[in-house]
Amino acid sequence: MDTILLNDSENDLLKAADLIKNGNVVGLPTETVYGLGADSANENAVRAIFTAKGRPADNPLIVHLADFSDAVKYTTSIPELAYKLAERFCPGPLTMVLPKNDRIPMVTSGGLDTVGIRVPSHPVMHRIIELSGCPIAAPSANISGYPSPTTAEHVMRDMQGRVAAVVNGGQSDFGVESTVISFDSDSSVRILRPGAVTQEMLLEVCDNVVIDPAILHEVEEGATVASPGMKYKHYSPKADIIMVESDFESFKSVVDKAYSDGVYTLVFDGDEANCPYRHMSYGSDSLQQAHLLFQRLRELDELGAKKVYVRAPSPEGIGLAVYNRLIRAAGFEVIRI
């Protein structure tokens, strides 16, 4: 299959929407990361997403809608709190797990009786959902296990020859996947995956916001998890990632002992001037770190890095999402000083 690269002109968006309507898989830009989209009701198209990514069949796909009011078509009940959250955060990087109806096939939900619903704000993604008239199932557009793509070029690298087309909608704004929540009660939600909609932001609407323990800790083999994605090796480049939670002086003493061919560091902007090692920076605050993390992990692979020592982000606000992705990229290898 020849993968065509489309742009954000109305003509090309119509082509992308037609491809999706006709059961093809298309790489799509969103404000979080790029996704691999298909008609969520078309089982063969959804299976083709799993095949293109090499994704385990029990890892559910998020279904993307043009407006939250469409959620009633695909779910059996929607709590009042979900509507309040939608008013505040949709369109945007928030996925709500709700009980699904028969219009969402089991392949799409990874065998679960729930479905993650999101209303993306990216104008290209929004327009393609409208033009196709389909609820679009879309996981991140990377090969399973590899860092998520934040540009059309990343998607082309991973998916060339595996999908019908990729739409270039520029670099993803947030750079980390959506916040995924489930409903514990009428006034309480649980964060299953942290993202740009933070615990503090959710507390503006909910009485109680629980952070699932699997976000910061390794899930034991065979354990049942609320969010299947948590069990899998994730976000990992080819290079071995080691996260170092310390000040910059202690970070340097760790790297010093291990520094040899193929060793790189991923540091903050303020460190660069005093960093004597091969290095890259991923910004100075959590928002920039989210925006740049996956891109830097891919760039480090291109440089041929074998081992990368990374300064740990502060797990506050959107930083919790960055921390959560990095600790998984590192396979939970953390040095704390």
If binding is defined by CB under 6 A, does position 104 make contact with ligand AMP? no
Token code pair at residue 237: 């480049």
At closest approach, how far in Å is the CB of 36 from ligand AMP? 9
If the CB atoms of residues 30 and 265 are measured against ligand AMP, the closer one turns out to be 30
* Site mask for ligand AMP (CB under 6 A), range 7-46, x = bound: ----------------------------------------
Token code pair at residue 187: 């006034």
Cβ neighbours, 10 Å, residue 271: 17
At closest approach, how far in Å is the CB of 326 from Mg ion? 15
If the CB atoms of residues 112 and 210 are measured against ligand AMP, the closer one turns out to be 112
If binding is defined by CB under 6 A, does position 109 make contact with ligand AMP? yes
Q: How far apart are CA 126 and CA 122, in angstroms?
A: 6
Contacts 24+ apart (CB under 8 A), 312-319: 312/243, 312/244, 312/245, 312/246, 313/286, 313/289, 314/286, 315/216, 316/286, 317/198, 317/200, 317/286, 318/174, 318/176, 318/194, 318/195, 318/196, 318/198, 318/286, 318/287, 318/290, 319/286, 319/289, 319/290
Determine the interface stretch with ligand AMP among 7-15, 56-64, 69-77, 272-280 (rule: CB under 6 A).
Answer: 56-64
- Contact present, 137 and 63 (Cβ < 8 Å): yes
If the CB atoms of residues 42 and 140 are measured against Mg ion, the closer one turns out to be 140
If the CB atoms of residues 232 and 248 are measured against Mg ion, the closer one turns out to be 232
- Contact present, 111 and 58 (Cβ < 8 Å): yes
For residue 129, give the amino acid letter: I
At closest approach, how far in Å is the CB of 139 from Mg ion? 5
Determine the interface stretch with ligand AMP among 112-120, 162-170, 282-290, 320-328 (rule: CB under 6 A).
Answer: 112-120
At closest approach, how far in Å is the CB of 93 from Mg ion? 14
Token code pair at residue 265: 């560091």
Q: How far apart are CA 119 and CA 294, in angstroms?
A: 23
Pairing of strands 4-6, 240-245: unpaired
Interface residue with ligand AMP among 30, 75, 114, 265 (CB under 6 A) is: 114
Q: Of all residues in this chain, which one has the CB nearest to ligand AMP in the complex?
A: 229
If binding is defined by CB under 6 A, does position 97 make contact with ligand AMP? yes
State the number of binding residues for ligand AMP (CB under 6 A): 21
Q: How far apart are CA 146 and CA 241, in angstroms?
A: 12
If the CB atoms of residues 106 and 335 are measured against ligand AMP, the closer one turns out to be 106
Pairing of strands 188-193, 165-167: unpaired
- Contact present, 310 and 235 (Cβ < 8 Å): no
If binding is defined by CB under 6 A, does position 331 make contact with ligand AMP? no
If the CB atoms of residues 4 and 143 are measured against Mg ion, the closer one turns out to be 143
If the CB atoms of residues 251 and 294 are measured against Mg ion, the closer one turns out to be 294
Write out the residues near ligand AMP by the rule CB under 6 A.
59-62, 97, 109, 112, 114-116, 139-140, 177, 180, 192-193, 226-230
